[in-house]
Amino acid sequence: MTFPIIQSSFYLDTASVDPDACTVYLGLQPTKIVKKADPFIKAKGGISRNSWQIDTERQHLLSLNQSIEPLLEALWPVRQKVIEFCRQHDLSCIFVSVVWEGTEQTQPAYDLSQEAVSRIAAFEASWNMDIM
């Protein structure tokens, strides 16, 4: 048996703010930027908002905590900047964990530590989980 694949992400829904401004302000390189004005995005039907995100690698892990903790560690030093940027531009941020389950895999621990929950709350962010 193997562990399921789990990936965690941090998203800033940058609405009409250019995601590159977020990169400059936070001093962090995102894993992915989505711009509503991107011709490739428009060709696929378009989106109504921009986003800025950092993802962890997809890994075989036993718990959600093992996936979200490295993300929180990377973002923790700039948490105040994240909060300030969101407040200045009336933006929201969210943490998301995705679990890809297979038929022959060990059931993961679908929980977060108290410390992880406290850290997510410190960003004034929400947390969602998807099971695929």
Query: Can you give the three-state secondary structure of 26-84, one letter per residue?
Result: HCCCCCEEECCCCHHHHHCCCCCCEEEEEECCCEECCEHHHHHHHHHHHHHHHHHHHHH
Instruction: Write the pLDDT tens digit of every residue in 49-106.
Output: 788 999 999 999 989 999 999 999 999 999 999 999 999 999 999 999 999 886 676 7
Phi and psi for 117 in degrees, rounded to 5?
A: -65, -40
* pTM listed for this prediction: 0.87
**pLDDT for the residue 46:** 52
**pLDDT for the residue 99:** 93
Instruction: Write the pLDDT tens digit of every residue in 11-50.
Output: 998 877 889 999 999 999 999 987 765 555 554 555 557 8
| Cα–Cα distance for residue pair 39/36, rounded to 1 Å | 8
Q: How many CB atoms lie within 10 A of CB 61?
A: 19
